[in-house]
Every structure is written in C-alpha cells, then in structure tokens.
C-alpha cells in the first residue's frame, strides 16, 4: 500500500473548493482511495473558536496548529488500516498556512510551545499545490460572494496570497498554479501537476493536431451545398 499526503492551498478565490472536486473525481477513477482533511480554520471559527474570541491571536493559532496536526495523524492512522493499494490524503490547507497569519515572533513561540520546527512541518507533506488568488491575474473573476468568511479586497487577497507562498517556500515540491489560462485550464494544470508528482499518466488527452485540409474540405462541401440549394430555388422559380 502506498500512502501520499499533499496540500491544496492558495489565496482567496483561488479555486480551492472546485479543485478538491476535480481531485476526487480524477484520482478516484485512477484507483486511489482519496481522503480529505477538512480546512481546520473553518471548523474552529464556525464553532466559535477564532482569533477574536481567544485571548490573543497566538492562543488561537496554537489551537489551530494542534488540531491540524491531530486530524492529519488520525487520517494517516485510518489510511494505514485500509486495504486500498493507493491512498491519497488531501489536506485542505496545511499547518504552514498558519504562518501567514502570524508575526515572526508569534510563529517562533508557537513552534517552541508545540515542540516542533518549521523544517519538520514542511516535510510533513509530500507536495504543496498553491492556487493563486483570482485577484492576481484574473481580477474580473475575484468575488466575495461565494464565501461568507471572505472579506479581503483584491489588494489584500494578493498580499495574503504572497504570504502563503512565502510560508511554504523551502518545501522541495511547491507548485504554484497561476491564472495565465482560463479557469478550466487552471484546474487541468493542477491535475496534471498532481499526476506528474504521483507518477501517473497524463489525465487529459492532448488535442488532435489541426488539419487545414479538413477545414478546406468542409468549406468546399458547404459551398457546394449552397450552390445546389440556389440551383434548386432557381428551378422552382422558373417552373412556378
């Protein structure tokens, strides 16, 4: 049995939720048991545990890191009991995402209290896939409407996106998926990068090469049909 753990992260409105659906559909078809570790911040904040309800931001971040690590440990333990040949654990954000929401001093104190360090946390994952916020490169698609917790302006979203990338910089397999293509192609690029990391075959068939001869043949057939229709109309007019 092979077990691989990856992180899907990114800035606000980067496409993370849609990406998780693409990952489930694609890799389930490839024979993987796909397990998803839910986003920890969403769970805590929706349950009333938040930076603004805890004593301070550091108190909250320590809680979030502890819960994130505990959840991942449980998923790994469960995965080891499964009979599937290939298991893919997908973390909806990873523990290093927290660094983007802390000062350097807060992060250092968090590591001290938890008895760990940045290098250990980075290497806790096989690969990191970062989806760049739509605010950077696809601003016309940036919206706050599909997430009630999202409050960032486009400039704030870009700044947070950069902090998240910086937090994961140093991981040997950090892959950044930008907005240089349309959204569907962005998702396909993500899936292709994950497939390459896993050593899987190309998931999408390459488009057939353009055949100019076929275009010309279709045009000639179309013109011939128009000519036939015109001749028929002329004949009907004469007989009428």
CATH number of the domain to which 87 belongs? 3.40.50.300
Does residue 196 register a pLDDT over 50? yes
Q: What is the DSSP letter of 132?
A: -
Does residue 233 register a pLDDT over 80? no
Average pLDDT for 165-171: 95
pTM of the model: 0.82
Do 150 and 239 have their domain in common?
A: no
Does residue 240 register a pLDDT over 70? no
The pLDDT tens digits for 101-115 are 999 999 999 999 999
| Cβ atoms within 10 Å of 64's Cβ, excluding its own | 24
Burial class (CB in 10 A: 0-12, 13-18, 19+), 197: middle
Do 161 and 225 have their domain in common?
A: no
1, 82 Cβ separation under 8 angstroms: yes
Whether the CA torsion 105, 106, 107, 111 is positive or negative: it is positive
Do 9 and 119 have their domain in common?
A: yes
Say what the pLDDT of residue 207 is: 45
Do 44 and 152 have their domain in common?
A: yes
Average pLDDT for 30-57: 95
- Structure tokens, 207: 């488009």
Residue 201's pLDDT band (cuts 50, 70, 90): confident
Q: What is the distance between the alpha carbons of residues 231 and 223, in angstroms, rounded to a whole number?
A: 12
| 103: in domain | yes
Residue 232's pLDDT band (cuts 50, 70, 90): low
Average pLDDT for 44-63: 95
Q: What is the DSSP letter of 206?
A: P
Supply the range of the domain harboring residue 55: 2-198
Average pLDDT for 87-114: 96
| 208: in domain | no
Q: Total domain count for the chain?
A: 2
Burial class (CB in 10 A: 0-12, 13-18, 19+), 148: exposed
Q: Above pLDDT 90, what percent of the chain?
A: 76
Do 117 and 221 have their domain in common?
A: no
Does residue 231 register a pLDDT over 90? no
Do 59 and 113 have their domain in common?
A: yes
Say what the pLDDT of residue 151 is: 78
Say what the pLDDT of residue 26 is: 94
Does residue 211 register a pLDDT over 60? no
Average pLDDT for 110-125: 94
Residue 237's pLDDT band (cuts 50, 70, 90): low
| 203: in domain | no
Closest CA to 64 of 89, 34, 38, 103: 38
Count of H helices and E strands in the chain?
8, 5
Say what the pLDDT of residue 235 is: 62
Residue 215's pLDDT band (cuts 50, 70, 90): low
């Amino acid at each position: 049995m092979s077990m691989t753990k990856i992180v899907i992260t990114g800035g606000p409105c980067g496409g993370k939720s849609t990406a998780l659906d693409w990952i489930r559909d694609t890799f389930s078809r490839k024979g993987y048991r796909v397990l998803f570790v839910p986003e920890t911040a969403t769970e805590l904040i929706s349950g009333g545990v938040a930076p603004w309800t805890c004593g301070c931001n550091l108190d909250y971040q320590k809680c979030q890191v502890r819960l994130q690590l505990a959840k991942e440990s449980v998923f790994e333990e469960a995965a080891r009991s499964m009979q599937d040949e290939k298991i893919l654990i997908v973390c909806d954000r990873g523990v290093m995402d927290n660094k983007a929401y802390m000062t350097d001093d807060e992060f250092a104190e968090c590591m001290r209290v938890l008895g760990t360090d940045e290098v250990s946390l980075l290497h806790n994952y096989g690969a990191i896939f970062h989806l760049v916020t739509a605010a950077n490169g696809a601003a016309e698609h940036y919206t706050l409407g599909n997430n009630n917790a999202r409050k960032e302006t486009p400039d704030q979203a870009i700044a947070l996106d950069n902090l998240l990338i910086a937090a994961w910089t140093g991981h040997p397999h950090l892959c950044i998926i930008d907005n240089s293509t349309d959204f569907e192609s962005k998702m396909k690029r993500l899936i292709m990068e994950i497939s390459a990391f896993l050593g899987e075959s190309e998931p999408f068939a390459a488009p057939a090469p353009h055949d100019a001869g076929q275009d010309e043949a279709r045009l000639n057939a179309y013109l011939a049909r128009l000519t036939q229709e015109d001749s028929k109309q002329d004949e009907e007019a004469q007989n009428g």
